[in-house]
Chain A
């Protein structure tokens, strides 16, 4: 059996998952990454996306938005602001997330007329959301 890491997925309201996993695919802010045993210590922020956990009990997918992951040699902790098992993700849920991102973009465009930074960030957030929706078969409209 492959070496495993202790994987925890925690949201502010409760601990969602705490299992042994062989690999965890994390949607990092600067690109996806896979954490396995003996990964070098790393802290990365998350972009909205799908987090996949593979372990002895099979694979599980979670939709996560906002937060960060702390990766150590024998543990992976993901602290997400929202985390939902991808099977429980409904069109309504997704719509709410996309609407929120759209609002944020509109607001950023209003407040930061001459600063591209925040506007780009908000636009990226929205496109990340939409890409995530495509992945699990939900449309943004």
Chain B
């Protein structure tokens, strides 16, 4: 049976934990709004970009002269998994879910006899995958110094991926990130960026697919120019989705933590009051029985 003093200390400590989680929740809520804004602002570019790329890719097709970024290297033996996660923890299952998806894919590919290489962005994903797949890491990008993700950050990552592709280090590249649906739901997702794949949804949505465009310079030259940018764009939107997801996940995780702390405080307070009552009753019994003995 813990003493009254012990109980009091525990109540105090849970109370200060609750204060911290509450504060983190509010900070996450404010950051979430900003992250969501950023994600929404970037959407027009990504949508149009993909629409045009879809059109171009369809018109160039699988001809032999198509750029390698579209056509692929002709084999799919070496896969590069780019795992985008957060730099910080305390955000529920956010990092773990992305890592889980990446691990499943890596194991699946290895079972098929493919070579897997992993590039991690964000400390948490690196930590989560290090034990099982640490020997597959080829590079790590640290974004902990970056406060607001800019397009330049995505460009740096894309440039690194592209130079590895040009050097023939891999055949297929996929990115792993978490899609932001709403505050309580973030879906870990996988997207293939090299070779470029036309997103079926955007392809169907393309309104004026029937219009015949002139191209200046020709389609293939434009494609060669745009494909590397497409990789950067895909990574950029993934980073922004991730940013919003992270804050959303943290917000709901901290909301839960705050509520649990509240429940715990209630329970401990009842226990505290009961044992205080017991102590008083005990004292009274002692006094009364002492008086009776006289």
Contact = CB atoms under 8 A, between A and B. Distances in A.
Contacts, number: 76
A115 interface: no
B200 interface: no
The prevalent SS among residues of A at the interface is: strand
A43 B211 CA distance: 12
A55 interface: no
A111 to B, nearest CB: 10
A42 B214 contact: yes
Contacts of B229: 66-67, 81
A45 B233 contact: no
Contact of B151 (A13, A44, A72, A77): A13
A12 B151 contact: yes
Interface in A77-124: 77, 79, 81
B64 to A, nearest CB: 19
B213 A43 contact: yes
B38 interface: yes
Given A12-B236, A45-B226, A79 B212 contact: no
Given A43-B222, A67-B229, A12 B214 contact: no
Contacts of A10: 44-45, 48
A70 B150 CA distance: 24
**Nearest 10 A-B pairs (CB), nearest first?**
A14-B41, A44-B216, A12-B151, A41-B213, A42-B214, A10-B45, A12-B45, A41-B211, A43-B213, A45-B225
6 contacts: A11-B151, A29-B225, A42-B215, A44-B215, A68-B52, A79-B45
Interface of A: 8, 10-15, 28-30, 40-45, 66-68, 70, 72, 77, 79, 81
